[in-house]
Chains A and B, each alone.
Chain A
């Protein structure tokens, strides 16, 4: 149990375009999901917390207009990188929180902006 999927697993796009990443909890309901960014050989950096039915809470320094988050249901959250630029290239990982504060992570999405 406790499986989280992400789609796509990798994406290459041109500068200025928008990219949507989906995160789904497959076998449990998650009222809270999280979006992280990870640079090579570094730990996870929390970008935002997504609660079902309400606006996401963004960490300091994360542009909410660039990284749009929607938590449409108890099993789906999406991250849209708007007007992507090369500096947005990174590994994006979502997680879904189950009971007892346990987080289960998706496999990640590698974004490359040309």
Chain B
């Protein structure tokens, strides 16, 4: 089961939108895309998930391409507290609840 592919690191200016890409070309029909982030030394935190439609919550927006092979997490107005490692994970939404983490994208917000 191939993991997702993300850039190793990205920078974003404070106050701008941070767009984090993820490639999941091997995603199957029953797999969702989940995003978690891990702020330094803390446990990961759930951000958002989606299947095929775009999703938005109080933390972020998730844009999934029509073929579902890639997605983009958008933090609309990045703050310094958004500096973290962001993980894109594909998983089934039923049955076994395991998460398989890759190495993620280290996002640094620049003041």
Do A and B associate with each other? no
A residues sitting closer than 8 Å to B (CB atoms) are: none
B residues sitting closer than 8 Å to A (CB atoms) are: none
